[in-house]
Structure 1
Amino acid sequence: MRSAVVRSVCVAGIGFGSLIVLVDSVAPIPMPADPIAALSIALGAGVLAVWLPGTRWLRLGTVLIAVGALIVGTGYLAGGAPSLPARIAAAVFLGLALLCAVPGRPELGRLLNQTNARAVIRFQNFHAARIADELHDEVLQALAMTSRRLDSAARGGDARGLAAASRAAVEVLEDQAAVLRGIVGTLHPVTLRHVGVVAGIRELARQVAAANGLVVDVEVTGAPVAGLDDEIATVAYRVVQEALRNVVKHADARTVRVQVTCDRTQFAITVSDDGRGLPGTRPPAAAGYGLESMRWWCSAFGGDLSVGNRPGGGTRIRATFQTRGVSVSP
């Protein structure tokens, strides 16, 4: 995460300097814009070269860019404008940097794939760990306790005690079956294939409300939705699922409102609650990966996610997707 921030800052510095150079080439601007631009590119490229692990040509290219920009910036600071030899030297370094882009292209592809793969693995590990915790804390412990009770009743030889333990075991198994159905829904929302995204969200809201003593209202505008991409429908369902999970664990809320809005250009999901809201501008650490997952899901399918506090208190999460070609009943 820290290396990604550093790389982003470096790229921003290079972009800032390049923008100044572009503007100056169209409409010349006075000092000190030119040396600032050159030194910004030099600093950004130099630091970026350090934060490009596992690459050879990309690092060499960014070093050459840094040297070329440094020559130009030093020339501006020394005499108001670089001399002809300084300009030629800078052009040579920048030309060599362009040559490095050809063998560096496969390295860039590998670096981007590695970054994406790490993000996928990080999210997979997060969700796998959460499911493992639910299985261990809920299902396995309940089954182990039920097994010991049945075994104790059988060893005691008391028919009434064995019958009571059996009835209790049936209740435990029914409860744990419900837990397993919830875990299966977390892995893949099977119900969406049968009832659609709107009905699936209504059923999810009903289950969360019943299990946690919440009031979860679902408001639908422009539904039913026809022609919505199945993957976008799944992402929308998961956004509601993750948002409701965060409400249960972190919000200390009493009521939740889920708004589903669709027209001919946009499909939107909004989940708002009357809880404590986000502390400042940052979510709780335990909810961080969940919110990051929602952003990742939305961006993967061209959607946008916004997270913030409601004016009257509580949290508001909104996911929007483009719906060109989707038909909506009046």
Structure 2
Amino acid sequence: MDLLTPTLPLMRALHVGALQQVALLFSALGSEPFYLLLLPLFYWLYDRKIGARLGILLLISVLVNDLFKIGLHLPRPYQVDAALMPFSPLALEKSFGFPSGHAQGAFMVWPFLALRTNNKSKWLILAYILAFCITLSRLILGVHWPLDVVGGALIGTTILWSYERYGDFMERSFRGQALINQAIFAVVFSAVCWVVGSLLIADAVRDVGPTTEALVKAPADLIGRCAALLGLVFGLMFAPHDVLAGGTVAQKAGRVIVGLIGVAIFYVGLKMAPQHFLVGFVRYFLTTFWVTCASLWVFRAMGLGGGKAQPQILAAE
């Protein structure tokens, strides 16, 4: 807490009502619903390989962020100083503060995409400007401390650097395994994340109590993240290789309509079902499995595919 409270004067100076709406707009560009829309569209319409890799990176990043939040269980600014309460209820968060997931995602997602353009230097500058604006918006809204956003930016940058340095090697190693070994690895990795997260939750309960809002929803969030990663990896293992991001305008429009209907059924529809950890697991697993695999089989059956065949992304060679 001693590292947080000295920055209260800065937080109060940034918490200006006139900037709240602009901050909400930039903050939305780093939210879960935005990424849930961006990644499928990128995967279905532009480049499946880039979309798949970004999806894996983002889910790993979210899991890392959750583990840090639960393990450190630090408060948000408005929980320390009521004067920093966001002007809009849309900005309120139910998780712990450090590190900022918005900053972490922004400093990973946008530079990742910029590095895959023809004019990397120009797009990297724009990517970091956008990432900075998203990060600053969290301070203006009063939902993060400076330490939170700096920590998030550093973690996101570290994850991106690690991928750029070792990603190709890890992907080749995974793709060189038999399907059964790939499946076992995916299940074990997700299970380990769940066990570690559960132990951290138990420790946090002892420190701050079981009724803390962030801990009430933490188990469901954790199981959802693990299920989403598992569904994404399984989907990439079994996705057809001849349904690409090309095609006519009509084919692309059809993919968007059919694809988003599926997302709505699994992500939104199952959210209305009775809340249970198993329902949450199924909801997130089916959402990412639909996006990466099942939707492509439906696209192919409906004649909505396009482009030339390419090797499968994670399937065994």
User: Is the TM value for this pair above 0.5?
Assistant: no
**Which has the larger helix fraction?**
2
Normalized against structure 1, the TM-score is what? 0.23
User: Structure with the greater relative contact order (CA < 8 A, sep ≥ 6): 1 or 2?
Assistant: 2
Q: Which has the larger radius of gyration?
A: 1
Normalized against structure 2, the TM-score is what? 0.23
**Which has the larger strand fraction?**
1
